[in-house]
Amino acid sequence: MAKCKGTNIVFLRKVLGAAGTAAESQFLEKLTPAEAESYRTALPVSWLAAETTTRLFEAAAEVLHPGDAQGIRRLGRELARDNLKGIYRALLRMTTISFVVGLSARLWGMYHDQGKASAWRDPERNRVVVTVTDYPELPKKFLDEIAGYIFGVAEFTGVKNLKVEKDAQDPRAWKWSVTWG
């Protein structure tokens, strides 16, 4: 079973706590006892099943962004904003989108126990493709959270007309195409 670090769950506790007691209670009602325990006890260095992390993000999106089909993607974007504060934000403004997205791909292994991430810069147009291989168990909903995170990281560079499109056709190679104009 694939696992990822608990940093995302620590973020969820932060945003749900900021949303208030009622929102967090509503969120907890959507969880199984095991999921609620994972939510309450996860540390940034904890390893959690990717399915559990995905389920927690789904439930949080339902509470924080009700009726929004892009709720998980929005949470991924908010996670990037939360992770990259202060000096990091200023530094990202001075880099290229290719560098930032490539760096995100290189950091994949620190947060996931499976998969290999890479980034390829299209020399013909403003496009970078992030690919994750060797991770067939990656939950499809988690792909949306990753798309939001990539968008959140890339937008710090200040590019215009930013888009991130996921390609979930091939479980041997999950892809996100990042374009700007």
* CA terminus-to-terminus distance, the chain: 39
- Do 8 and 64 lie in one domain? The reply is yes
- For the stretch 35-89, pLDDT in tens is 999 999 999 999 999 999 999 999 999 999 999 999 999 999 999 999 887 776 7
For the record, the structure tokens of 66 come out as 């009700």
Query: Model confidence over 129-165: pLDDT tens digits?
Result: 999 999 877 888 999 999 999 999 999 888 999 999 9
Does 11 share its domain with 47?
yes
Same domain, 60 and 133: no
Domain residue limits at 12: 3-81
Verify that 54 and 112 share a domain, yes or no.
Answer: no
Give the model confidence (pLDDT) of 109-127 as tens digits.
Answer: 999 999 999 999 999 999 9
Residues 6+ apart with CB under 8 A from 27: 16, 59, 60, 63
Same domain, yes or no: 52 and 109 = no
Q: Are 30 and 64 in contact (CB under 8 A)?
A: no
Identify the DSSP state of 98.
H
pLDDT score of 91 more than 80: no
* Coil vs helix vs strand at 23: helix
What are 35's two structure tokens?
């999921």
Pair (62, 103) in one structural domain: no
Give the total number of structural domains in the chain: 2
Question: 105 and 64 in one domain?
Answer: no
